[in-house]
Amino acid sequence: MAEILQIPEDIRDKQAVGGVAYLRGITISTAKNGNKYASGTMATKKGTYTFKKWGTDTLEVGIYLIEGHWQVYNGQGGMIIDTVTPIQEEEGGFIKVDFLQSRYNRNEIFDSLKRLIIDNTSESGYKLYKMLLTGRNGQDAKMVTDFAKEFAAINHHDNVLHGLLAHSYKVAKILVDVINDPLRVYKTMPQDFKDIVIVGGALHDLGKVLEYSDGEISKMGRFISHRTFAIMRAEDLKDDIVSLYGEEGYIKLQSIFAQHHGQYEETPRTVEAWLVHKADAFDADITTLDEGIQKLQAGDESFRVDGFKLSM
């Protein structure tokens, strides 16, 4: 029986390699000579690597038995796939989760996020957090499960299992530290303001539960972004949210969901949205650096920040 692909630590340019891998993040492109090719990432138990498959414009996300060779270009290694044989999920004991890594402990982070909300918001704040996450009557178990499982991104920071949960906690933690800093004006702000910022920050990416599926764009995500999904979620709960924070509190929460990407999408129009945008961007940058340091420690010299190679 075929085994999951393993890339040797000492692999060299042009060395043959093969095995079972989960191919994802696939894009189809055309080279200057007119040849079509597929590129993306292949997930294995030991890590995620880039790949390229020439002569195809139909490769889909899935589990495959692949054969090919390693190629080093501009100091970076990746696999050139020669042949791909589809393997149905669960065939031979393979399922997608076998290939997806995470450096995060789901239960620990979920408990930490819950405790962060309880300790730093009012009873209404915790009620808002639970309502957005679990639904009006607390019956949306799938939302909770997927929020804890999903990736935070496809190709960027925290693109691993539980990455969305980890990113959400880190953003909320940054906001709590800023708001509670005695040297900053935010500490003197009303509790309603703090509740909206902290809960909005914790769940700013909640819509990715619907936009993504195991780190890939979902069918619905092809049409609507996670920002819109989060707005729709809050709209369904509008009367309940207004009863807690009034119409203005509801609108400010919606501003966080709509505007946390900042100038790259819709520029923040509220202090609440601007704070979450900055915390979101800060965690994304620091996590990218964190992941790069891990690569450097593992001997991978390909890591760059803003085009520059960093030294340690």
pLDDT score, position 307 = 66
pLDDT score, position 92 = 61
pLDDT score, position 90 = 61
- Fill in the DSSP letter of residue 20: E
| Coil, strand or helix at 221 | helix
Identify whether the C-beta of residue 202 lies closer than 8 Å to the C-beta of residue 170. Answer: no
Identify whether the C-beta of residue 215 lies closer than 8 Å to the C-beta of residue 154. Answer: yes
Question: In which residue ranges of the chain is pLDDT below 70?
Answer: 1, 75, 89-92, 298-307, 312
Q: Quick one: tokens of 55?
A: 């002569």
pLDDT score, position 98 = 77
Helix or strand holding residue 23 (H, E)? strand 16-30
Q: By C-alpha distance, which of 32, 72, 63 is closest to 45?
A: 63
- Upper half-sphere CA count for residue 295 (Cβ side, 13 Å): 20
Identify whether the C-beta of residue 252 lies closer than 8 Å to the C-beta of residue 290. Answer: no
> Tokens 């920050």 — which residue?
201
In angstroms, the CA 160 to CA 25 distance is 13
Instruction: Give the angle 82-88-90 at the CA atoms, nearest 5°.
Output: 125
Q: What is the pLDDT of residues 28-75, one digit of tens each?
A: 999 999 999 999 888 887 777 889 999 998 898 889 999 999 998 876
Compute φ and ψ for 51, nearest 5 degrees.
Answer: -145, 165
Identify whether the C-beta of residue 156 lies closer than 8 Å to the C-beta of residue 189. Answer: no
In angstroms, the CA 181 to CA 179 distance is 6
Q: By C-alpha distance, which of 212, 218, 206, 238 is closest to 134?
A: 206
pLDDT score, position 111 = 97
